[in-house]
Amino acid sequence: MRLLVVEDEERIARFLKKGLEEESYAVDVATDGPAALDWVAGAEYDVIILDVMLPGLTGFEVSRILRQRGITTPIIMLTARDDVEDRVTGLDAGADDYMPKPFAFKELLARIRAMTRRTSTATVAMTVLEFADLKLDTITHLAKRGSHEIELTPKEYGLLEYFMRHPRRPLSRTLIRESIWGYDYYGASNVVDVYVRHLRQKLEAHGEPPLIHTVRGVGYKLDDLEE
Ligand code: CA
């Protein structure tokens, strides 16, 4: 297993390289965006661990360029702590997962294992969210209702993940918008309603009963009770 760590902070890069090598991974380190692109052009990696704040090109730009070049290597993005906007931008840029900084090394290892062993049942149990007959894989971002697979855009995925992590709870439109689009979102005010509508259409495409219910005067909730 070969990993590329893209991190300009020397202390963190050294710590990651040493820790990952102790786990028997082969590790290359790039310390800026352009160097990361060079490394990826010259070698095949199983996972790329990509910091957001980098000299030359940001992690978002690196991810976007790699995806444009058709490189599908899983990317774990290192984002600022609890920064929803970073997380969403990262997923939009083609990252597969994110780790808020500072992170526990053990958790990073777990995510690398999840990325490299997508089919193992132990991994599936850890990474798949379930509600009623709905399953959401947090690694592949694929949803499944019963036996039907549902493809989601990054924003739809973010929205569904948010609902599934807060089941049976009324969630206000403001809360949902800030969680998925960030605090400084100034786009259309009905963005939540629009995306909920898309999501409902996909979740009920085969005549299944609704899972996302309107809560009058508040917003929405994920529930398996009839309205
Ligand atoms: Ca950095």
pTM of the model: 0.53
Cα(106) to centroid(ligand 1), Å: 20
Task: State which CATH number among 3.40.50.300, 3.40.50.720, 2.60.40.10, 1.10.10.10 fits the domain covering 126-222.
Answer: 1.10.10.10
Whether 2-121 shares its CATH topology with 126-222 is answered: no
**Domain locations along the chain:** 2-121, 126-222
Total residues found in the chain within this entry: 227
Q: What is the pLDDT of residues 113-159, one digit of tens each?
A: 888 765 344 444 458 889 999 999 988 889 999 999 999 998 899 99
Q: Is 22 left (phi over 0), alpha (psi -120 to 50) or beta?
A: alpha
Q: What's the 197 CA to ligand 1 centre distance in angstroms? A: 38
Contacts of residue 221, Cβ cutoff 8 Å, sequence gap at least 6: 163, 168, 169, 170, 171, 212, 213, 215
| CA 13–ligand 1 middle distance (angstroms) | 10
pLDDT per position as a tens digit, 150-183: 999 988 999 999 899 888 888 888 888 877 877 6
Q: How far is the CA of 8 from the centre of ligand 1 (A)?
A: 5
> How far does the centroid of ligand 1 lie from the alpha carbon of residue 192, in Å?
32
Q: Which fold has domain 2-121?
A: Rossmann fold (3.40.50)
